[in-house]
Structure 1
């Protein structure tokens, strides 16, 4: 470390923005509902592979040494002056949902690379190495488990379990890693970094409501994903009396209404419940559905209240089976993560960096899941939130954060990483 190390860093906002826009061209599509250009880069599709190759090229141009692990997680490393020191890790993901915008996950990855560029251009060295990571299948929409790559890297899930997961077409994650060329040779379990910091768009309205640019994230609420399949009996819509039906579609609707009643009751804390996927079979106008497949997403910042809500749902499903003769159901756990508090010390470094950049900030809990909650099991971790427009809408082509807001967030990230990387 040199005595010329600055107390804070500002990044090249125009270059950062251009990187975001260039990556958004990979997997771009025209969204008919909004009339806007969106992004579709599901994990380990051809579009995701093309995005990965582009970001690897940017990493290498920035002088980072790139490695790929057995989960396809990608790390770019900038060495520090102490080769024995644990690195400071930053990053996020570049896979998307099918109807995404340009910022979710990508800001954290490309912002990390922009930090490296600025350090290089200014000739700034750090005691500790700095690494920029890209985690595989953070969204969980293709293989059914969110934060998958980071969960394996942190040791919560095994690589064997992850490789065997299948998408709706029966393709395995392990097979898709091999097909796209991202079945890396490096051991997936991360050696504990010194710290982890992730910069991400907020995906909510809190920062805009408070009129501030920066969120210091205190933790991530618990998340429960289940897949429920209701088995009924197909029947003619006109000739089958109502009392003789085993209507899987009706049962699915009853589950949705019951979930809302759990939320509205107030008996389960700050519970949120969503059925984001629902399909009936045979999906014909004049046939009573024989089967309904649906997902249930529960969120709660209180683990005990989450468990009570899950128990209430399970009891309702049990009773539902007896409500119509011939009705049955199966459930499959897709994901379950507990509430994760972030490190107070890293939060303080972020808050001080925001102050030093004259950026107002608030502390807030994340309602969405992030790779940071997995890496928090290995090392002190926290997150920086950047304000979004249009009530913070995300997973949608309308997702938008201004160039100024993105630059401010990465300025805070850069200063935070610099300070953590020079800690003893």
Structure 2
């Protein structure tokens, strides 16, 4: 188990901001590339066979002595990238714990009857090219490479110019033969804190989506243009933010405008255009649709009063996910034989949700986060809880590979 702490120390400085303490590990940039190199080294040190698909997803395979037939392989892992100025644990905890779980299984003398893989899915956060869980979506085929390769980052760099991708409609074969996926992740809330438990089980994922709001107005002089003569898109945007907040509070949902771009972005000019991104989440598909429709309706009404125009584009929408019940119960039983393991819903999206939606039975383990903060430098987990997570993951995997 000491390997977990050693691996965690190795990763701690990679991509960390000296000023905020947060992490900048965007896909195919220096910090994330360093983590990918670390992944390859960790696989080589353990004698695991490395496989990479055309989109940059990685799997390190532990094959049994007598090679399996390729069916019902077991996969675990998570992702290595982060949001902008994010926390250390979201993603890498699952990858490090997966390698540590293999170490622990070997210490126990477990001889797998089927292959066990450690996955690192790329661009899970969507922090560079704007599509959450893009790597896993490409791996299962629910995202098209023809569309994905045209995505650009904030500097205008095309995804297709960064990664090779699949030529002539070829697909990823990385998940061929995989029969189950178990992802360990730091909890992104305080459910386990409230239950006084170190590790819990994921029950399902709320539906969620990202929506781009383009508000067009008329650029003008900030000093000479009377307030009543303006067509100011910033006013429409500001009132939409307030509407989104109110709608979510009234329904127990989540809505966040966390990114905005303004043109021409001058202090002494009325802007001509505002582009903003809404992240919306609710407990059911119907509740999400109602939330988004309500926000858009209020935004349109405000635009009419402001003399601006509004276009709303759904960039990605993920339906509600219920994890495979048999696998979930198996994980819960391994975690607490008496049946007392906490089962938690999550409002955050994960690669496990993408794989489950694509028909691959998936489950999640959550490790307690005492602050409850995530996607920020304050995200944390105690070493003892992380080690408990490794033990739990190893117990689950042992049952699946035998």
Same-fold status (TM-score > 0.5): yes
- Structure 1 residue aligned with 2:240: 255
Q: Map 1:191-230 to 2 at 5 A.
A: 191-230=176-215
SS of the residue aligned with 2:258?
coil
Contact 1:76 1:131 in 2 (8 A): yes
Structure 1: runs of 5+ lacking an equivalent: 1-11
Report Cα offsets for 1:258-285 as digits up to 9, x if no partner: 112212333xxx3210010123222233
Contact 1:177 1:183 in 2 (8 A): no
Report Cα offsets for 1:290-322 as digits up to 9, x if no partner: 211211000012101111222223323333332
Pair 1:165 & 2:165 matched: no
- Structure 2 residue aligned with 1:234: 219
**Which is further off, 19-28 or 58-67?**
19-28
Output the CA distance in 1 between the equivalents of 2:41 and 2:339.
32
Report Cα offsets for 1:203-254 as digits up to 9, x if no partner: 1111111111111110111011011121111122222122210111111101
Output the CA distance in 2 between the equivalents of 1:287 and 1:150.
43
Change (3 A) 1:68 1:183: farther
Pair 1:54 & 2:54 matched: no
Choose which of 364, 369, 393 in structure 2 pairs with 1:388.
Answer: 369
Q: CA deviation at 1:359?
A: 11
Output the CA distance in 1 between the equivalents of 2:381 and 2:401.
28
Contact 2:239 2:299 in 1 (8 A): no
Change (3 A) 1:201 1:281: same
Change (3 A) 1:134 1:184: farther
- Structure 1 residue aligned with 2:377: 397
- Structure 1 residue aligned with 2:360: 379
Pair 1:108 & 2:108 matched: no
CA RMSD between the two structures: 2.1
Output the CA distance in 1 between the equivalents of 2:127 and 2:239.
24
Choose which of 31, 34, 51 in structure 2 pairs with 1:67.
Answer: 51
Output the CA distance in 2 between the equivalents of 1:122 and 1:184.
43
Output the CA distance in 2 between the equivalents of 1:359 and 1:213.
15
Choose which of 100, 104, 128 in structure 1 pairs with 2:114.
Answer: 128
Contact 2:110 2:398 in 1 (8 A): no
Q: CA deviation at 1:184?
A: 11
Contact 2:333 2:341 in 1 (8 A): no
Q: What is the number of residues matched between the two proteins?
A: 397
**Which is further off, 234-243 or 144-153?**
234-243
- Structure 1 residue aligned with 2:394: 414
Output the CA distance in 2 between the equivalents of 1:126 and 1:116.
10
SS of the residue aligned with 2:336?
helix
- Structure 2 residue aligned with 1:8: none
- Structure 2 residue aligned with 1:331: 312
Q: TM-score normalized by structure 1?
A: 0.89
Q: TM-score normalized by structure 2?
A: 0.93
Structure 2: runs of 5+ lacking an equivalent: none
- Structure 2 residue aligned with 1:45: 29
Change (3 A) 1:42 1:183: farther
Q: CA deviation at 1:95?
A: 0.5
Change (3 A) 1:359 1:212: farther
Change (3 A) 1:202 1:174: same
Pair 1:243 & 2:225 matched: no
- Structure 1 residue aligned with 2:13: 25
